[in-house]
Structure 1
Amino acid sequence: MAPIGSLWGVPRQRQTKYILSAAAIAGLEVDLKPFEFGVSNKSPEFVNKFPFAKIPTFEGEDGFVLLEGASIARYVASLAPESGLLGNSIKDAALVDQWIHFAEHEINGYTDLVWQLVERFFPEKGYSESIHKSVLERQERSLKFLEQNLNLREFVVTDEITLADIVLASITQRAARVTLGAAERALYPNVFAHYARVAGDPRIKDIFGAADFVEVPVGPKKDE
């Protein structure tokens, strides 16, 4: 099977997992190009094609260029409607989009913010304990909502894996490497059972790779 296009990204990146998993379940091939962050994305050839110079980025065999992981994954899924990745109706597709936006903004957005806080990415290497606590509380609210929605069903939209499940599982994996230690994960049995179902699917198990969960949430770096 000829590839539908080329993808620039790194396997550990959650967005790359969205795309490769969608392609695997859809029965499509994507050519993952060699990539070295800070080198490949600064080359004139890359910047000329992708001026934003971030990953993941995609170029179809027909020259169609796309960025943003969820958008690329949705495009890939749309090429194989029979896969069920976007559901089986217009309403299903809307729900898939709903859960993708929820996962990215109401869960992963807070994971990334905590990581940036503890790694002192902000001006003057600033860290705020009160902001850290507030962000975790917001993520907790979102995880409780997801936990309730997974109480009576295995997947969030239909009776099989959709793109929404792939995105949610990727984002759950990311959170469990940053904000959710063992004690926190125990509060969300449905969320992590869902993660195990999706990440353990034989079609995408190798794409998700090892869980690499932390035992305790990451904490702030000491003042230098």
Structure 2
Amino acid sequence: MSKLILYGLEASPPVRTAKLTLAALEVPYEFVEVNTLAKENLSENFLKKNPQHTVPTLEDDGHFIWDSHAISAYLVSKYGKNDSLYPKDLLQRAVVDQRLHFESGVVFANGLRSITKPLFASGLTTIPKERYDAIIEIYDFLETFLAGNDYIAGSQLTIADFSIISTVTSLQAFVEVDAAKYPKVTAWIERLKQLPYYQEANGNGALTFATFIKKTNFTFATK
């Protein structure tokens, strides 16, 4: 097996997605911290690995892959003992892919990043109400996706669960999931927390993220 190196910051949701996938596959790897807050990802050395300077970045035998969705799909395709985490059946895979795109374009981009970018880059601690509404809409969608399903893309655990749980547990630093309103989402979160590798791969980083967010003393605008 070639040597795998994962570059990233544990608090980063996409990095935690990759860590969950690696843990589920039981693939050994080296973790190299890249502190994006200190702009270590803009160093000349890192830009040679990933000119888009994003984390996570995966190094596999001298080849570099970035974007957590691409990394997770690659890892399962290459190292998976079976295809359960990323099914080869075209219809099943299409559902997983849809959920991955939903995470990328809606949950992360329209939900988390739309808040954290101005919060971190500009120090804007008053968050527009529309961003709160966007998170609620995300939780609404997830509750619908989970109707009749234990997992986000159907009856079995997939990389779509890893991708979305890492971001949702970060969104909860801003808006908690209401167990009464979202019983299926709540049960799904608790189900994933039972994975033996969950705490190390996602729980610890999510806690670090939440602790950091609380220090910003953010508030949501009322209108």
Instruction: State the TM-score bracket (shorter-chain normalisation).
Output: 0.7 to 0.9
Q: Name 2:23's counterpart in structure 1.
A: 24
Superposed CA RMSD in Å reads 2.9
Of the structure 1 ranges 134-143 and 191-200, higher mean CA displacement relative to structure 2 is found in 134-143
1:3/1:106 CA distance change after superposition, 3 Å: same
Report the AA paired with residue 47 of structure 1: L
Larger radius of gyration: 1
State the 1:163 CA deviation: 0.3
Q: Name 2:176's counterpart in structure 1.
A: 181
1:77/1:187 CA distance change after superposition, 3 Å: same
Gaps of 5+ in 2: none
Q: Name 2:147's counterpart in structure 1.
A: 151
State the 1:93 CA deviation: 1.2
Aligned residues: 211
Mapping of 1:5-154 within 5 angstroms?
A: 5-37=4-36, 38=38, 40-61=40-61, 63-79=62-78, 80=80, 82-109=82-109, 110-117=111-118, 119=119, 121-122=121-122, 132-154=128-150
Q: For the residues of structure 2 that align with 1:72 and 1:27, how far apart are their CA atoms?
A: 15
Q: What is the TM-score of this pair, normalised by structure 2?
A: 0.80
Report the AA paired with residue 151 of structure 1: A
The CA deviation string for residues 76-135 of structure 1, in whole angstroms up to 9 with x for no partner, is 121116051112512111111111111232222222213344x2745xx66876xx2223
The CA deviation string for residues 33-66 of structure 1, in whole angstroms up to 9 with x for no partner, is 24333364243322223222232112211x2211
Residue 24 of structure 2 aligns to a residue whose secondary structure is helix
Q: For the residues of structure 2 that align with 1:56 and 1:9, how far apart are their CA atoms?
A: 5
Q: What is the TM-score of this pair, normalised by structure 1?
A: 0.80
Report the AA paired with residue 186 of structure 2: F
Q: Name 1:190's counterpart in structure 2.
A: 184
The answer to whether the aligner puts 1:172 opposite 2:168 as a matched pair is: yes
Gaps of 5+ in 1: none
Q: Is the 8 A contact 1:5 1:58 kept in 2?
A: yes
Q: For the residues of structure 2 that align with 1:12 and 1:127, how far apart are their CA atoms?
A: 19
Identity of aligned residues (%): 19
Q: For the residues of structure 2 that align with 1:120 and 1:53, how far apart are their CA atoms?
A: 17
Q: Name 2:156's counterpart in structure 1.
A: 160
Report the AA paired with residue 132 of structure 2: L
Residue 209 of structure 1 aligns to a residue whose secondary structure is helix
Q: For the residues of structure 2 that align with 1:186 and 1:86, how far apart are their CA atoms?
A: 31
1:108/1:188 CA distance change after superposition, 3 Å: farther
Residue 100 of structure 2 aligns to a residue whose secondary structure is helix
Q: For the residues of structure 2 that align with 1:23 and 1:128, how far apart are their CA atoms?
A: 37
State the 1:3 CA deviation: 5.3
Q: Is the 8 A contact 2:20 2:201 kept in 1?
A: yes
Q: For the residues of structure 2 that align with 1:162 and 1:15, how far apart are their CA atoms?
A: 15
